[in-house]
Amino acid sequence: MTDNGQLIAFLGNSEQANFLPRTVFRGSLMMIEKRIPVRRCAGCMEHSDKKELLRLAKNKDGEISFDLSGKNPGRGAYICRNMQCLAKARKKRGFERALKLKGEVPHEIYEKIEREIGTENQFK
């Protein structure tokens, strides 16, 4: 069985296995040794390598931005690079909760994330 096959068998969920960093699943010890920064996806609520996730940021004026650099100051919310998680986050207001928003995440932010995920998937 391939490495990837084992992963999928272990997770029992091939959809998520495609998006989660392999290192995280080689055991918690590995994670501690490598000190991979992990963040929680606002859709599936799973923890993933921060580098694998897309980030939204809320600045001190309460403005939301889609933070492709991952370095914008302020509170961040994270999402896996897939449409399922994005749909979940939208449905259960995962971003609003993560960012402690009173209002809603603007529609165009969702569109930007969709576009980003869309362009990635073209190359798979």
H/E element holding 116? helix 107-122
Which range of residues in 24-32, 75-83, 102-110, 113-121 is near Zn ion by CB under 5 A? 75-83
CB of 115: closest distance to Zn ion in angstroms?
18
Do the beta carbons of residue 40 and residue 89 sit within 8 Å? no
42 binds Zn ion (CB under 5 A): no
Q: How far is the CB of 85 from Zn ion (least distance, A)?
A: 3
Region of residue 54 (left: phi > 0; alpha: psi -120 to 50; beta: else):
beta
List the one residue from 7, 20, 44, 113 that touches Zn ion (CB under 5 A).
44
In 60-106, alpha helices (H): 83-91, 94-98
Residue with tokens 């392999």: 22
Contact with Zn ion (CB under 5 A) among 7, 17, 20, 43: 43
Q: Among residues 1 and 82, whose Cβ is nearest to Zn ion?
A: 82
**94 backbone dihedrals φ, ψ, rounded to 5°:** -65, -40
Query: Which positions touch Zn ion (CB under 5 A)?
Result: 41, 43-44, 80, 85
